[in-house]
Structure 1
Amino acid sequence: MRKTLGLMRRLIRNRCSTGLALGVLMLGMGATVTMYLVSSELVYRESRLRFDNDTSDAEQKIAMRVRLYSDVLVTMQALFGAKD
């Protein structure tokens, strides 16, 4: 009888520890997947903001350069028109 009770206690203890280990594993996997999804979304947003900022900066520089070139052309036209 004692052997049977001891055997049953060991089986229950082993099953509980196995179930606990699987539960902790599943909890860890769930946390890992959640953190991956959140961090990948944050990285995507940050890279998108940087790209938008860089393209806006390049657009402003090109617009400024074109405006300066057109000012130079208008000034040169006025200079050559004044000599006539």
Structure 2
Amino acid sequence: MNQIINEYTTLSQWGNSKATRIPTSVLKLLNIDVNQRFLISVQGESIVLTPEVKQPNTIHELFSNWEDDGIRHNENDWGEAKGRELKW
């Protein structure tokens, strides 16, 4: 991603807070969608918004995009059962 975008936005009042809008061109470049959470920090004289990377909460979320390649070189031998593991 070496594309440079320079656009302006304005700080506005939103209830008791201040808000600004992020241009669509920036959101598309970074593949950011509505309801994305950000970490906000200050670096020098700049406000930095870093998109939060969502961690999976379940095993299903963790492997939701996994595609089985069907390649199995061999079966692992984990040794004798040490507890109440199922016998194969």
Larger RCO, structure (CA 8 Å, separation 6 or more): 2
Structure 2 length normalisation: TM-score?
0.17
More strand by percentage: 2
